[in-house]
């Protein structure tokens, strides 16, 4: 098949199309943004300690690690197919999804249980995830009771207004120790980024909320297009005169 001229003609046409798409669109994925960073690393570590102590997350005698991150996948999607750089700038300003986050991890070597706390660039608490051992003990609640715990936990300090969301998914996992973990997914109403959807994931492990996470649900088809664009862009760079010199 690889020796047939028709294959190579089709391959060349496909490569040219990807290259053209990359030349036009790839620079938009790396536009310059203006961000007001009101929380520094020291403040992120301190606030994470305060929240973990008040809510009983993670191991005792933990170590901390902090990093400031951007959700590159979400950023690329919004700038390329979800409204452009202006729409991304709107997210930075107004939300409902905040792609730049401080992420603080509480952990102890050799222990499965750990906690991850997230803050927006302005310092507001934005989400958390507590990891428990598979066989850790816990309650086996029904879905209705677990949902009530999840929705009550979305209040302070996260201040999520659930009346702006609608439930779209629910699932449960029965753990080896008898604990049942419930996952509830909500979708923001009246706001979206192209085909992307703003979602909130709440997880109740046993009888306690162990995760509250904001996500931008990106279509899988975008991932395939974006990877093709990246490959074409890298190919252009590899064959440029400066690379061959």
Question: What does pTM read for this prediction?
Answer: 0.80
Per-residue confidence of the chain (245 residues) as pLDDT tens digits?
545 566 555 555 555 554 444 444 444 444 556 788 999 999 999 999 999 999 999 998 999 999 999 999 999 999 999 999 999 999 988 889 999 999 999 999 999 999 999 999 999 999 999 999 999 999 999 999 999 999 999 999 998 999 999 999 999 999 999 999 999 999 999 999 999 999 999 999 999 999 999 999 998 888 888 787 766 666 655 555 555 55
Q: What is the pLDDT of residue 227?
A: 81
Q: What pLDDT does 13 receive? A: 56
Give the pLDDT confidence score for residue 238 in this predicted structure.
57
Question: Which element (helix H / strand E) includes 218?
Answer: none
Give bridge partners of residue 182 from the DSSP assignment. 172, 204
CA nearest neighbour of 74 among 184, 188, 197: 197
The helix/strand count (H/E) of the chain reads as 7, 8
Residue 226: predicted pLDDT: 78
As a whole number of angstroms, the distance between CA 164 and CA 187 comes to: 8
> Given the DSSP bridges, would you call strands 165-174 and 180-193 parallel, antiparallel or unpaired?
antiparallel
Sign of CA pseudo-dihedral 188, 66, 86, 193: negative
* Alpha carbon 82 to its chain's center: 16
pLDDT for the residue 23: 44
Radius of gyration of the chain (CA): 22
pLDDT of the residue at 22: 46
Note the pLDDT of residue 19. 47
């Amino acid at each position: 098949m690889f020796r047939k001229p028709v294959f190579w003609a089709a391959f060349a046409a496909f490569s040219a199309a990807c290259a053209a798409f990359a030349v036009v669109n790839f620079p938009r994925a790396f536009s310059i943004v203006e961000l007001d960073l009101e929380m520094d690393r020291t403040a992120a570590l301190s606030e994470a300690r305060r929240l973990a102590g008040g809510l009983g997350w993670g191991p005792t005698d933990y170590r901390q690690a902090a990093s400031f991150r951007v959700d590159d996948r979400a950023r690329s999607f919004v700038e390329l197919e979800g409204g452009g750089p202006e729409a991304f700038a709107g997210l930075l300003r107004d939300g409902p999804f905040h792609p730049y986050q401080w992420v603080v991890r509480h952990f102890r070597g050799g222990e499965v249980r750990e906690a991850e706390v997230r803050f927006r660039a302005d310092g507001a608490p934005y989400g958390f995830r507590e990891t428990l051992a598979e066989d850790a003990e816990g309650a086996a609640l029904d879905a209705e009771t677990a949902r009530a715990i999840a929705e009550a936990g979305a209040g302070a300090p996260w201040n999520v207004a659930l009346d702006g969301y609608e439930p779209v998914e629910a699932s449960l996992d029965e753990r080896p120790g008898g604990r049942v973990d419930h996952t509830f997914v909500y979708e923001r109403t009246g706001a979206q980024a192209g085909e992307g959807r703003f979602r909130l994931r709440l997880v109740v492990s046993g009888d306690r909320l162990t995760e509250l996470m904001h996500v931008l649900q990106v279509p899988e088809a975008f991932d395939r297009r974006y990877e093709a664009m990246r490959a074409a862009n890298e190919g252009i760079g590899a064959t440029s005169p400066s690379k061959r010199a």
